[in-house]
Amino acid sequence: MTAHELSRKLASKELSARELATATLARVGAVEPTVDAFLTITQDQALAQAQAVDDRRARGEALGPLAGIPLALKDNMATQGIRTTCACKILDNFVPVYDATVAARLGEAGLVTVGKTNMDEYAMGSSTENSAYKVTRNPWDPTRVPGGSSGGSAAAVAAGQATVALGSDTGGSIRQPASFCGLVGMKPTYGLVSRYGLVAYASSLDQIGPLTRDVRDSALVLSAIAGHDPLDSTSIPQPGKDYVAALEGGVKGLKIGIITELMGEGIAPEVRAAVEAAVKVLEAQGAQVDHVSLPNSKVALSTYYIVATAEASSNLARYDGVRYGVRAENPHDLMDMYLRTRAHFGAEVKLRIMLGTYTLAAGYFDAYYKKALQVRTLIKRDYDAAFEKFDVLVSPTAPTTAFMLGEKTDDPLAMYLADIATIPINLAGVPALSQPCGFDALGLPIGWQLIGKPLAEETLYRAAYAYEQATDHHTKRTAAL
């Protein structure tokens, strides 16, 4: 069931929060051997949080719509007293002493945390095969990937192990798993949601957002986590909003642009056909549809892998064995401690650190990093120009449906291309939402992506909700488990 459906049952006392938490934990136990979505399961804490919600309700306290709803958190968000590993052995024993702002806000809203989810190590990957601990499987077909890097969060929601989840999105890491797992994934405007307590990968690109079963649930969760945070210097200084209130507006007169560069070569025919059919649904409701060109999209992938790896090289320099995390035992000297401690990084993380360090090196900085920042500006200008004519831009979320486990692990470029439609959005800093728009011949979910102007999340929710009300793709649940 969705969060808003469960919320009504909880409010009417047809269901207690403790009963819901117990049932959810039982589901985790039943399917986790197949899905492997979690790195840490917080059973005792979940039951205690659920009981606290029931006690508050019994006392007649006013509770929000998400009180008692089971939540999963990606394991790169700090949780006080609960291990936070980023799926890396270097943080194997790291237990934060504070909560990330998003975790604190959802705790205040009464959500019940059932666990921390698996991910690509330090959020570097598109398949959740780069975790140091386990490989998460797609609940729709356990021989396939759930997407990445928030694959554990997406798989947990798709498998019924949590009602809602949070992921982080640096180049598509919320939206692509949402597409592969048949969910709604929202990447908000950069700065709308606090990054305080999010372990950094690429600080100018990272953003936290919800993974949910439908659009209303997504709006509920974003309403709870958005808003200014003085602890995050990049947080936009504006209060949060009630995004649920924006759902009912309809799309009549809305101008929708189909991105030409993301509907051609490399896009699977079934994916393209599903997106074209989805556009027609909104057009039938009064939206005005045309095509739009974003010419610099073709260099977005190259730009991203310079900017992101350079920032990763800088951010991950802190893992030196001095302050926190794993420390090499009995080092001969300081350099030996650094080398043996940082050997705990996985292969993909080492690759990206080396790429980033190279592009920042003297003699290469101007040729690579500075040039990439200039191209990033051109990409953003493409979006600015498009939004002078259109309210929403659309494209496939991913070029294909979920691919097989191991299919792309030996070909980094093929793996990187899985994010070709999502990466430009992070470079531009604009919001984007992925939602189910069909299924391929194998019964695997297809997602389409709706992209908005900065701080136009309400418009995206309005369009996505209008589409959802006219279709039933979001009601389908996996029968594989």
CATH architecture label of 3-247+438-446+471-475: Alpha-Beta Complex (3.90)
3-state secondary structure 77-122: ECECCECCCCCCHHHCCCCCCCCCHHHHHHHHCCCEEEEEECCCHH
Q: Mean pLDDT throughout 226-249?
A: 96
Nearest to 185 by CA among 145, 219, 227, 224: 219
Q: Given pLDDT bands bounded at 50, 70 and 90, which one contains residue 61?
A: very high
In tens, the pLDDT along 272-290 reads 999 999 999 999 999 999 9
Residue in 74, 187, 408, 453 annotated catalytic: 74
The per-residue pLDDT for 324 is 85
Dump pLDDT digits (tens) for 139-162: 999 999 999 999 999 999 999 999
Mean of all residue pLDDT scores within the chain: 97
Q: How many CB atoms lie within 10 A of CB 335?
A: 9
Q: What are phi and psi of 13, to 5 degrees?
A: 65, 20
**Residue 127 among the catalytic residues:** no
CA nearest 281: which of 399, 443, 436?
436
191 vs 254: CA distance, rounded Å:
26
Do the Cβ atoms of 96 and 78 come closer than 8 Å?
A: yes
Taking only the tens place, the pLDDT of each residue in 97-114 is 999 999 999 999 999 999
- Residue 74 a catalytic site member: yes
Ordered alpha helix ranges (H), 226-287: 269-284
**Catalytic, out of 173, 179, 235, 313:** 173
Q: At what angle do helices 215-225 and 457-470 cross, to 10 degrees?
A: 160
Query: Beta-carbon neighbour count of residue 48 at 10 Å?
Result: 13
Cα–Cα distance between 145 and 234 in angstroms, integer?
Answer: 33
Q: Select which of 149, 179, 194, 395 is catalytic.
A: 149
Helix axes 371-386, 300-315, angle to 10 degrees: 130
- Kindly state the helix (H) or strand (E) to which residue 74 belongs, with its residue range: strand 70-74
Alpha helix positions (H), 142-268: 151-158, 175-181, 215-225
Where in the chain are the domains?
3-247+438-446+471-475
Which strands sit side by side in the sheet containing 164-168, from one edge to the other?
38-41, 112-117, 70-74, 164-168, 208-212, 184-187, 432-439, 445-452, 392-396, 255-259, 288-292
12 is catalytic: no
